[in-house]
Amino acid sequence: MIELSGLTKRYGEKVAVDDLTFTVRPGIVTGFLGPNGAGKSTTMRMILGLDHPTAGDVRIDGRHYHELADPLTYIGALLDAKAVHGGRRAYHHLLCLAQSNGIPTGRVHEVLETVGLTAVARKKAKGFSLGMSQRLGIAGALLGDPRILMFDEPVNGLDPEGIHWIRGLMKSLATQGRTVFVSSHLMSEMALTADHLVVIGQGRLLADTSMADFIECNSRSCVRIRTPDRERLLDALHGAGITAVETGDGLLEVEGGKAEHIGELAARHHVVLHELSSRRSSLEEAFMRLTAPSVEYHARTEPPERPWGADWDTGTWRGAADTADPATKTTAEG
Ligand SMILES: Nc1ncnc2c1ncn2[C@@H]1O[C@H](COP(=O)(O)OP(=O)(O)OP(=O)(O)O)[C@@H](O)[C@H]1O
């Protein structure tokens, strides 16, 4: 079990983690979600004693990390897959970890086998792809056969087979009664793995809920309708006590309605329908609604104008260069 109580971390003016209190329980996978910069990694570093809290406390089965003897046999973690000495071979990296934590050498072979790296065990880590490095990091986390496992974005860099494998691995570790705490910024990923969710935004707790409750509360269903007889359909819906809203793109939307009922109602009133579809809002949308006020880094979906841009028809550059000294003016040809 991991217990956080009023955990806070400030970096100067920046409050990276803000008074977090929650418990990560054994026997289930707990997903730790939040947009970029929400404070997930900082929280995980504090759990492992790699960062010192400004305030509050975090305990692993009632003890601070530094109080654990042979900590790898208590809690295994993957925080940064590339934080491995590049010149070290995978086998020797794991052997060093094992020897410094009183773990038998035979366990190195076992975990290499588990993560599928046996064939490259004698290769240097610097030649590893991100996916292979993730697997090596996971092997390190599993090495001490710990009762608590923590993974920071473990599917990063994994191919579809690897993603499928890590999902299965996390679930089976939880089924064995271990505490599994895994961070992600992808709700869709967590929906497939996590039994419980802790959501943070700008360091603050936004939700601490079972996955089932989150799905129950957030998966809205609605019926979308396109019709050239809008007024007649609205009257018919109104007469049946059904409220429709306009979506702004020429469609009508009925929340919680059933497509077949609306289709039959339209038929009875001789209303032509061009489209009738049921739609369930995704968990990703629910997550975005929950975290929208705390998203720090917004990107634009449309590419920037070409203020300096190349005129692709003529092959010349315009904009700032047009007003510059003709001597320094550049053309696409060089
Ligand atoms: N050592 C540090 N010094 C100053 N600011 C930091 C430091 N570490 C993290 N931060 C800031 O704290 C905030 C939380 O960062 P953190 O890496 O914990 O977020 P995250 O949720 O893991 O983000 P991501 O999903 O992008 O990895 C960010 O604004 C980050 O810039």
Decide if 205 contacts 198 (C-beta within 8 A). Answer: yes
Please check whether residue 43 is in contact with residue 107, taking contact to mean a CB–CB distance below 8 angstroms.
Answer: no
Burial track 214-224 (b if 16+ CB lie within 10 A, e otherwise): beeebeeebbb
Mean pLDDT across 172-200:
92
Give nearest CA residue, ligand 1 atom 23. 37
CA-wise closest residue to 199 among 190, 8, 5, 216: 190
Tell how far the Cα of 297 is from the centroid of ligand 1, in angstroms: 12
Residue nearest to atom 7 of ligand 1 (CA): 11
Q: How far is the CA of 50 from the centre of ligand 1 (A)?
A: 14
Write down the mean pLDDT value for the chain.
85
* The residue type at 1: M
The whole-number average pLDDT for the span 188-202 is 91
For the segment 272-278, the average pLDDT, to the nearest whole number, is 93
Whether pLDDT at 306 is above 60: no
Q: How far is the CA of 16 from the centre of ligand 1 (A)?
A: 6
- Mean pLDDT over residues 132-152, rounded? 93
- Average pLDDT (27-36) is 94
Query: Is residue 137 in contact with ligand 1, taking CB distance under 6 Å?
Result: no
Mutate to test the pocket of ligand 1, among 7, 14, 33, 200 (most ligand atoms within 8 A of CB): 14
Q: Which residue has the higher pLDDT, 85 or 181?
A: 181
Cα–ligand 1 centroid distance for 200 (angstroms): 13
Q: What does the pLDDT read at residue 167? A: 92
Give the whole-angstrom CA distance, residue 25 versus residue 256: 34
Say how many Å lie between the CA of residue 303 and the centre of ligand 1. 27
**Residue that wins the pLDDT comparison between 323 and 296:** 296
- Locate the ligand 1 atom nearest the alpha carbon of residue 43 and give its number: 18
Average pLDDT rounded to a whole number, residues 284-302: 70
Integer Cα distance of 131 and 148 in angstroms: 23
Answer whether residue 310 shows pLDDT above 70.
Answer: no
Ligand 1 atom showing the smallest separation from residue 152 Cα: 22
